[in-house]
Amino acid sequence: KIIATAAIRGAHKIVGRAEESLRQALETYGPDAPVAFPNTGYYLPVIYGMTGMVVEKVGDLVPVLERAKALLPPVPSEKVWLPYLGPALDAGMATLFADEIIEAIKYLGTPPYTMTSKPTDDNLWLGAADDVILRKRGIEFVDGTAPGFAAVVGAAPTNEIAVKIARELQEKNLYVFMSAETDGRSFAEQLAEEGVELGWETRLVPFGKDITATVFSLGFAARAAMSFGGVKPGDFRRVLLYNKNRIFAFVIALGYVDDEKYAQAAGAINFGFPTIADTDIPQILPTGICTYEHVVSNVPHDKIVSRAIEVRGLKITVTKVPVPVAYGPAFEGESVRKGDMHVEFGGQRTPAFELVRMRDAAEVEDGKIEVIGPDVDTVPEGGRLPLGIVVDVYGRKMQEDFEPVLERRIHYFINYAQGVWHMGQRDINWLRISKAAFKQGFRLRHFGDILYAKMKSEFASILDRVQVTIYTDEAKVLEMREEARRIYAHRDERLKALSDDTVDTFYSCTLCQSFAPTHVCVVLPERVGLCGSVSWLDAKASYEINPHGCNQPVPKKDVIDPVKGQWQSCNDFIFQNSRGTIERVNFYTIMEYPLTSCGCFEAIIVMLPECNGFMIVNREHAGMTPCGMTFSTLAGMIGGGVQTPGFMGIGKAYLASKKFIIADGGLARIVWMPKDFKEQMRHVLEERAEELGLGRDFLDKIADETVGVTAEEILPFLEEKGHPALTMDPLL
């Protein structure tokens, strides 16, 4: 029987490596050189989460290294069972600190990573996830869309086995974080060689080939605890508990496990993540100490995923969709390139559309799926067909207003099928079926099978009957597209008429209370939730679907201030639902009792008193802004469900709303926004500016980072352009 010796020995080796890297970095760059993982507010996240130590300069790594060394137990001289877990765990933690030191130093020179969300042509390895990725993917761990992650270390004996394991993990909706190698081979390279699409979008994330890149998995977990769990940096007990209880992760070790890998496994055990291996590896500690095994040896490859899930105690429910290809959210991000496609539809090449329409009971036959026109086996490889997808639904609780909510789900439901790709919506949709999916037997009726199964399972409470018709006969597609266009136009009319003033109910969203316990989003017809993904109609529909869920009606009664947008009934609702912390909210101003922010905002508005206006920065923008803070710093300051006058998180679409901060002067107050963001919004903002009488060229009066990133730098520009904010009523 062997023991923790290997882990402790490995920890000594990695800490030794860190010491040498740090010595060289101090020599080459000096102690004041800035050091960081890209675009994050969590510094080196494991170190920050565990110790609260902030690393910003190379010199800051020195005390961290000391800390790691202090944790290192002496290497036991004999192979004996250690009486308790402590020494191995400490060695594991020291390893993670050393990993982060080594990885951080890599970013000093030319980083060996792409720093993008998927591999580039000449680099497979992504490195640390930035905060944009963390936020986007992390929420899936919180809301259950992703039940957890597998950190795969090493390489499978063959590429085929690697692909099988990866697919199985994807089908279970798990993220797959990959690092390290076995004899020069790595799991990620094996997948890439087999043409598997890697990146955050497909949940197959190649972190790095070095063993130390394993720490990016634990860093992701530590940041989840701090950002979603509200755990304070340095509160190591709670960081670890949060992970043990909420992040269902495990390590799959493929191939020979050397000392350094043991050391990583010991680090992961601190987080409550067990290691499942395909080789014979000794226990790190005696079994029976903990509620589940920490290390499981010699698991055959076809059992390794299910065994890991079982050991970690994960319950995964997957709706079975009767299609001949793999199906699940992990396949959503896969694209089907032109050379790989069997057939495509729409995309301005053939007429196409998709439609969900509410019908009477007699007009919908539940479960009926019909294909009208030629199937995909009649077209030559690389061919095209027209396509109409009509989903007829009936339900006693269905409302016409929910049609677009259901219709938007078509995009996701279809994309979840492996080898099937969907883009756009309505009559500008574009779909492809890959050669591989076609060979596996994917045919048109499977669109129907997918939509039927998913609509019925996700909207069970509002849909009693669902029928799907797929048209490919060109004349028929054109005829039905006219019908669809009539319905779209009718909907748009209704949407336009929908305004804050004409409804008597707003809706709340408290989904984010799991990590911002006092935060309440109130979603108005003219103000989308600050994450950008919950509209008033979405919230209304989801209330009908689940009356006990996180979207509740907020009555709009007893107006207190019609200009700033304050109602007594809304105050009452927010007070009750914020655990008594927020007493009043104005919907139309940032300056006084503004809405609170959780952490999911797509953009942040900040007052710039020197310019008598506001700046807006979007999450994607990493650079400095005129308020003296980057997005990450701002986000850390305003999140968590507190009111911060002068600052507010918003959804991007709110910018174009007629009600956009109207009590503060509206769009005319915007004096700075990042260039890319401006371009992204140009079309809608130009229209809106024209309606407001600001002129179509108003956008060009808004400064951006090319003009400057301080108030002093942008003021002369605003003056030269005659920006309206400068002559408006003083904000303060």
Query: What residues make contact with Ni ion under the rule CB under 5 A?
Result: 512, 598, 600
* Among the residue ranges 427-435, 528-536, 688-696, 701-709, the one whose residues contact ligand SF4 (CB under 6 A): 528-536
CB of 679: closest distance to ligand SF4 in angstroms? Answer: 25
Fill in the DSSP letter of residue 461: T
For ligand SF4, the closer of residues 356 and 512 by Cβ is 512
Cα gap 591→561, rounded to integer Å: 14
Would you say 280 and 298 are in contact if contact means Cβ atoms under 8 Å apart?
Answer: yes
For ligand SF4, the closer of residues 512 and 725 by Cβ is 512
- Site size with ligand SF4, rule: CB under 6 A: 11
For ligand SF4, the closer of residues 99 and 602 by Cβ is 602
Q: Rounded to the nearest 5°, which phi and psi values hold at 250? A: -155, 165
Helix axes 259-270, 215-227, angle to 10 degrees: 10
Would you say 224 and 138 are in contact if contact means Cβ atoms under 8 Å apart?
Answer: yes
Cα gap 282→32, rounded to integer Å: 43
* Among the residue ranges 156-164, 265-273, 401-409, 503-511, the one whose residues contact ligand SF4 (CB under 6 A): 503-511
CB of 213: closest distance to Ni ion in angstroms? Answer: 25
| 670 SS3 class | strand
CB of 406: closest distance to Ni ion in angstroms? Answer: 18
For ligand SF4, the closer of residues 466 and 509 by Cβ is 509
Would you say 548 and 636 are in contact if contact means Cβ atoms under 8 Å apart?
Answer: no
> One-letter amino acid identity for 281?
I
CB of 221: closest distance to ligand SF4 in angstroms? Answer: 21
Cα gap 450→148, rounded to integer Å: 25
CB of 412: closest distance to Ni ion in angstroms? Answer: 9
Helix (H) / strand (E) containing 385 = strand 383-385
Cα gap 589→669, rounded to integer Å: 12
Which listed residue (156, 521, 574, 694) binds ligand SF4 by CB under 6 A? Answer: 521
Cα gap 484→357, rounded to integer Å: 9
Cα gap 3→82, rounded to integer Å: 7
Q: How many CB atoms lie within 10 A of CB 445?
A: 16
CB of 351: closest distance to ligand SF4 in angstroms? Answer: 36
Helix (H) / strand (E) containing 630 = none
CB of 528: closest distance to ligand SF4 in angstroms? Answer: 8
**Contact partner, 534, from Ni ion, ligand SF4, none, Cβ < 5-8 Å per class:** ligand SF4
Q: Rounded to the nearest 5°, which phi and psi values hold at 477? A: -60, -45
CB of 673: closest distance to ligand SF4 in angstroms? Answer: 21
For ligand SF4, the closer of residues 527 and 701 by Cβ is 527
**Contact partner, 188, from ligand SF4, Ni ion, none, Cβ < 5-8 Å per class:** none
Question: Exposed/middle/buried for 458, CB within 10 Å: 0-12, 13-18, 19+?
Answer: middle
Residue with tokens 């095994």: 293
For Ni ion, the closer of residues 163 and 637 by Cβ is 637
For Ni ion, the closer of residues 190 and 618 by Cβ is 618
- Rule CB under 6 A: say whether 650 interacts with ligand SF4: no
Cα gap 118→679, rounded to integer Å: 24
Q: Rounded to the nearest 5°, which phi and psi values hold at 421? A: -125, 135
- Rule CB under 6 A: say whether 529 interacts with ligand SF4: yes
CB of 313: closest distance to ligand SF4 in angstroms? Answer: 27
- Rule CB under 6 A: say whether 509 interacts with ligand SF4: yes
**Contact partner, 179, from ligand SF4, Ni ion, none, Cβ < 5-8 Å per class:** none
- Rule CB under 6 A: say whether 541 interacts with ligand SF4: no
Would you say 205 and 177 are in contact if contact means Cβ atoms under 8 Å apart?
Answer: yes
Which listed residue (101, 263, 534, 671) binds ligand SF4 by CB under 6 A? Answer: 534
Position with the least CB separation from ligand SF4: 529
Binding mask 600-619 for ligand SF4 (x = CB under 6 A): x-------------------
Q: Kindly give the pairing relationship between strand 369-372 and strand 352-358.
A: unpaired
Would you say 119 and 199 are in contact if contact means Cβ atoms under 8 Å apart?
Answer: yes
Q: What share of the chain is helix, strand, coil (3-state, %, to 5)?
A: 40, 15, 40
- Rule CB under 6 A: say whether 64 interacts with ligand SF4: no
Phi-psi region of 655 (alpha: psi -120 to 50; beta: other; left: phi over 0): alpha
* Among the residue ranges 200-208, 217-225, 509-517, 623-631, the one whose residues contact ligand SF4 (CB under 6 A): 509-517
> One-letter amino acid identity for 86?
G
* Among the residue ranges 89-97, 103-111, 336-344, 527-535, the one whose residues contact ligand SF4 (CB under 6 A): 527-535
Residues with Cβ < 8 Å from 45, sequence gap 6 or more? 37, 100, 219, 220, 222, 223, 226
For ligand SF4, the closer of residues 473 and 620 by Cβ is 620
For Ni ion, the closer of residues 71 and 598 by Cβ is 598
CB of 327: closest distance to Ni ion in angstroms? Answer: 17
For Ni ion, the closer of residues 173 and 182 by Cβ is 173
| 475 SS3 class | helix
- Rule CB under 6 A: say whether 653 interacts with ligand SF4: no
CB of 552: closest distance to ligand SF4 in angstroms? Answer: 12
What sign does the CA torsion over 120, 123, 126, 132 have?
negative
CB of 584: closest distance to ligand SF4 in angstroms? Answer: 19
**Contact partner, 509, from Ni ion, ligand SF4, none, Cβ < 5-8 Å per class:** ligand SF4
**Contact partner, 521, from ligand SF4, Ni ion, none, Cβ < 5-8 Å per class:** ligand SF4
Residues with Cβ < 8 Å from 169, sequence gap 6 or more? 150, 176, 203, 305
| 205 SS3 class | strand
Number of helices (H) and strands (E) in the chain: give both, helices first: 20, 23
Binding mask 572-601 for ligand SF4 (x = CB under 6 A): --------------------------x-x-
For Ni ion, the closer of residues 182 and 518 by Cβ is 518
Which listed residue (511, 604, 606, 663) binds ligand SF4 by CB under 6 A? Answer: 511
- Rule CB under 6 A: say whether 530 interacts with ligand SF4: yes
The site for ligand SF4 (CB under 6 A) is made up of 509-512, 521, 529-531, 534, 598, 600
